[in-house]
Amino acid sequence: MQNSFEPNFDSTTFSAETYFATQPEPPSLQDDLHDVSDFIDRQIEQGRKVVLVTSGGTTVPLELNVVRFLDNFSAGTRGATSAEYFLKQGYAVIFMHRQFSLQPFSRNYSHSTHPFLDFLEIDAVLPSSSTIDSVYPYSNDPSPSAAQPQITVKMSERAALLSVLRTYKAVQAEGTLHTLTFVTVNDYLYLLRAISKKMNNLGGKAMYYFAAAVSDFFLPRQKMSEHKIQSGKGSLHIEMDQVPKILKPMVSDWAPGGFIVSFKLETDQALLIPKARQALGRYGHQVVIGNDLHHRKHRVVLVSPAKAVPSSAKLGPDGIVTREYEESWIEIDPSLSAPQKEIEEEVVKELVARHDAWINRT
C-alpha cells in the first residue's frame, strides 16, 4: 500500500467456491451456528417471519497477528434501528453485527451521542470528602456498611427510557431477537453463508436485509505477513483481491426461497439508480435500497424489478438481464431527527408490505 493510495483493479476475482475453499473457517462458527439454528427452529415452530439484518462495517486485516486493518464505514445505525422496527412488525430478528457497533435498543444510549452516565443522578449530596481521589478506584468504597445513596434517572429522560426498556424486556421475554457478531470480512462471509442456508428452511418467510458495509477487497490469508508489517523501507505496496459477490450464490444456492434486500451506498447520488438496477439485473433479487452518504438519514430509494416483466426482457452484455425497474423514494423531513422520526420506520413498513405481497403471490 502506498502512502497516496492508488487503487489497483487488476487483482484476482475469487468465486465464492474458491473463497471458501481457500480461506479458513472462523473458530467460533460452529457454536454460532448451533445457537442460531435453535433460534430459527423455534421461529419455524411458532410460524413467525424471520429477518436477517446485517449491520456495521467489516474489517480486512493486513497481518495474521493483526495490528493494522482496513475498515468500512458504518456505525450500525441503519441496521440497529431497522431491527427494532422489524421486531415491532412481529418479525423475529437475527441481528448480525460488527462487534461494538450499535445494537437495537441500547443504540438509543450510545456512549458518543447519549451516554447513560449523563442522565443518572445520585440522590444524596456526596460528603465533602468525595473528591475524585476519595472515590477512585470504583470498588474502594470508604464506607461499605453506611447507607448507600440511591441512583435515579433524570426526570426528563424517564419516559423515553421506560418505553425503550419495556420494549427491550418484552422482546427478551418473547425470545425474538438473536444477536451474532463479526469483525472481519471473512467472519462475515462464513456466518452469512451458514445462516442463510439454515434460514432457507423458512421458505418465503425469510427476509434478508443487508445493511452492513462489506469490504469489496481483501487480503487472502496466504498473502498476509505473519507479523506486524515493518516500516522504514519506503512505501508499502499491497495487492488486494476482490471479495466474491455473495448475492449471486445467495439467490441461486444459499437462500433461493427468501426475500432479499440489499443496500447500495454511493457518494454521487446520480449513480444510485443505475447501480441499483445493475445489481438487480446481475443477481435477480427483490429490492435494492440506494442511499447516498450525506442524505442517508432522510432519503433513500427502493429499486425493484417492475411487477410485470416485459417480454423485451433479454440477456444483455455481460449476462445481465435487461428489463424494466421501478423506483420509489422514501423521504422524511430533514429537520426531524431521531427519536422523533426515523426513516427506517418507513422503510421497514414498506418492505413488510412487499414481503407479504411476495409471500402471497400466485
Q: For ligand PAZ, which residue of 164, 213, 302, 343 counts as binding (CB under 6 A)? A: 213
Site for ligand PAZ in 237-266 (CB under 6 A): 263-265
Q: Which of these segments, 144-152, 154-162, 206-214, 240-248, binds ligand PAZ (CB under 6 A)?
A: 206-214
Q: In angstroms, what is the minimal distance from the CB of 357 to ligand PAZ?
A: 23
Q: For ligand PAZ, which residue of 70, 207, 214, 348 counts as binding (CB under 6 A)? A: 214
Q: Which residue type, as a one-letter code, is found at position 69?
A: F
Considering the complex, state which of residue 347 and residue 352 has its C-beta at the smaller distance from ligand PAZ: 347
d(CA 213, CA 57): 5
Q: In angstroms, what is the minimal distance from the CB of 318 to ligand PAZ?
A: 20
Considering the complex, state which of residue 43 and residue 103 has its C-beta at the smaller distance from ligand PAZ: 103
Considering the complex, state which of residue 43 and residue 184 has its C-beta at the smaller distance from ligand PAZ: 184
Q: In angstroms, what is the minimal distance from the CB of 313 to ligand PAZ?
A: 26
Considering the complex, state which of residue 42 and residue 296 has its C-beta at the smaller distance from ligand PAZ: 296
Q: In angstroms, what is the minimal distance from the CB of 289 to ligand PAZ?
A: 7
Q: In angstroms, what is the minimal distance from the CB of 77 to ligand PAZ?
A: 3
List C-alpha distances in Å: 233 to 223, 230, 237: 19, 8, 11
Q: In angstroms, what is the minimal distance from the CB of 167 to ligand PAZ?
A: 20
d(CA 54, CA 81): 12
Considering the complex, state which of residue 158 and residue 294 has its C-beta at the smaller distance from ligand PAZ: 294
Q: In angstroms, what is the minimal distance from the CB of 74 to ligand PAZ?
A: 4
Letters for 163-202 (x = contact with ligand PAZ by CB under 6 A, - = none) are: ----------------------------------------
Q: Which of these segments, 11-19, 159-167, 208-216, 346-354, binds ligand PAZ (CB under 6 A)?
A: 208-216
Q: In angstroms, what is the minimal distance from the CB of 134 to ligand PAZ?
A: 41
Site for ligand PAZ in 68-107 (CB under 6 A): 74-78
Question: Which residues contact residue 33 at a Cβ distance below 8 angstroms, ignoring those fewer than 6 apart?
Answer: 194, 195, 198
> How many residues bind ligand PAZ, per CB under 6 A?
13
SS (H, E, C) the chain: CCCCCCCCCCCCECCHHHHHHHCCCCCCHHHHHHHHHHHHHHHHHHCCCEEEEEECECEEECECCCCCEEECCCCCHHHHHHHHHHHHCCCEEEEEEECCCCCCCHHHHCCCCCCHHHHEEECCCCCCCCCHHHHCCCCCCCCCCCCCCCEEECHHHHHHHHHHHHHHHHHHHHCCEEEEEECEHHHHHHHHHHHHHHHHHHHHHEEEEECCECCCEECCHHHCECCCCCCCCCCCCCCCEECCCCHHHHHHHHCCCCEEEEEEEECCHHHHHHHHHHHHHHHCCCEEEEEEHHHCCCEEEEEEECCCCCCCCEECHHHCEECCEEEEEEECCCCCCCCCCCHHHHHHHHHHHHHHHHHCCC
Considering the complex, state which of residue 40 and residue 287 has its C-beta at the smaller distance from ligand PAZ: 287
Q: For ligand PAZ, which residue of 164, 180, 211, 343 counts as binding (CB under 6 A)? A: 211
Going by C-alpha positions, the residue among 269, 261, 276, 271 that lies closest to residue 348 is 261
List C-alpha distances in Å: 201 to 33, 177, 257: 14, 18, 8
Site for ligand PAZ in 266-305 (CB under 6 A): 291, 296
Q: In angstroms, what is the minimal distance from the CB of 355 to ligand PAZ?
A: 19
Q: In angstroms, what is the minimal distance from the CB of 208 to ligand PAZ?
A: 13
Considering the complex, state which of residue 43 and residue 82 has its C-beta at the smaller distance from ligand PAZ: 82
Binding site for ligand PAZ (CB under 6 A): 74-78, 211, 213-214, 263-265, 291, 296
